[in-house]
Structure 1
Amino acid sequence: MDKLRGMETFIAVVESGSFTGAASRLEMSAVMVGKYIALLETQLGTRLLERNTRRQSLTDAGRVYFDEAKRVLEQVSIAESAVERLRTAPAGTLRVSAPTSLGGCVIAPLTATFLQLWPDVRVELDLTNRRVDLVDEGIDLAIRIGEVHNDDLVAKYLCPYRMVICAAPEYLARHGTPQTPADLVDHLCLSHTVWTARNEWRLPGVEGEVRWKRDAILRCNDGYGLRMAAIAGAGLLLQPEVLVAEELAKGKLIRVLEDFTPEPRPVHLLWRQDLRPLPKLTHFIAHILAGAQTLTSP
């Protein structure tokens, strides 16, 4: 038996004063009302109602059960109302995972404007290049760079993740501007130690694939440090476009070898399948889709 339905039936019997009144209120037969009461009494091992042909009254156990059952159903109603509010307007905590660079430059600013629009939402933004498990780790939304191979998740294309080769005007004035990857042999390279164990750039579009020489003038495990070194004129830099967009716009860094940069990789939004996703997630996804197109456009 549905215990909550049994409680609801018992309360209706007490408040209406009869099985017939409860049946009319609950839109069921008086016989079914009687079955619910009988099953409740059997489960509890005691009588809840004293009844005869003229009237009914509560036993001591019935009075206690009536008060407690009403409290239980009130709490259920409060819980259902809370969930319904979540489904009508964005509210609650949203857990988001994003790659470190893209997350810091694109997702974090967009999250800030989203929170201004929906102050009842709280966001936990985890910036990591590790591939998180959305189900095991309770993540509502993940942003990933590269192809997606997971049929258990919903994937929505967000934007291309472009790379750019650039250098400071002062560096180019001293060393010249490379026109093809073959010219890189005469240039200084700034390399990220995490990107490749062999410390090489691989540039498409030329026969045999050109790789940067192994003895980079500066290696660093932090993209910001490499960017500051490039602005100071230390050498050529290969980084995601979103990280150097401001410096490129201000002329602090100049694009080179635009026809030979690595192919852009796709960025996707990933979330768990749900027939009715909560508004906090659907509104956040819409906000990220709208904002990222502007921030990452060429």
Structure 2
Amino acid sequence: MAEFVYVNGEFIPKEQATISLFDHGYLYGDGLFEGVRVYDGKVFELLPHVERLLSGARALGFPLGDLDETKAFEAIVATCRKNDHRDGYIRVNLTRGTGLGLDPKHIEPKVNFVIATRQLALYPPELYEKGLDMITCSTRVPSPDAIDARIKCTGKYINNILAKMEANRVGAGEGIMLNQQGHVAEATGDNVFILNSDGVFVTPHPSAGCLKGITRGVAIKLLREQFGCVVVEENMTLLDIYSAKECFLTGTAAEIIPAVSLDERLIGDGKPGPNTAKLIEAFRAYTKSTGTPISS
């Protein structure tokens, strides 16, 4: 079956799909993106992804025209249907428009909206069983007076890429990124949670410089509503992770994955914790019970 890419309202065979060399996202990183999952023919948490995408576009002053949440939502579902994409990953990109030069007044005032379906596995299956070893990266997240981390814009991810390269150089599964004040913000591609010695789950507040992740929100919901746990969003330092009973990361591609060490210090007993294991099981069940069907 031929695979198609959605480009500005048209379905184009993947091999023929292109954007202009003067696309502002390509030239300047002036764009936004979302990664969305499909489980068994249902798109997972699609509305929150679409809302975050267009909220970011409005915050950056993109010329959206008639593109709204409904049209974006329907385009993503239609792309999955067109490709019979029943399990896997959806990549959604939105850029300011086309034209050379930084000044948005001098470019075509029309966004470029692209949707593609792919298969993606961020971590090998065995790491979900044994857990990730992590390091602290020297690369910091951008300060919120530069760009708010809740805006999932492409340009700011150069910091995450550089931090991931640091982790790769020492063979670590992930890297923890701090903000300018030394508080934990996020991992290079995921949100961070710990279970502390008081039995409270803690995750950095978005104001610390982390993305307000969709899977992060689902994890908070499951912990509170299904397990009756206390979950707080507050500042966290490296000491909080070093001394935690359990640690796990969340993200669309990673889902929920345990972390068992940071900077060669074991977290808890150095094995995935029982509460993390229960949450992973609950999350996988939740993905099967909810979502937007791609069938017409």
Same topology, TM > 0.5: no
Structure exhibiting the larger radius of gyration computed from Cα positions: 1
When normalised by structure 2's length, the TM-score is 0.23
When normalised by structure 1's length, the TM-score is 0.23
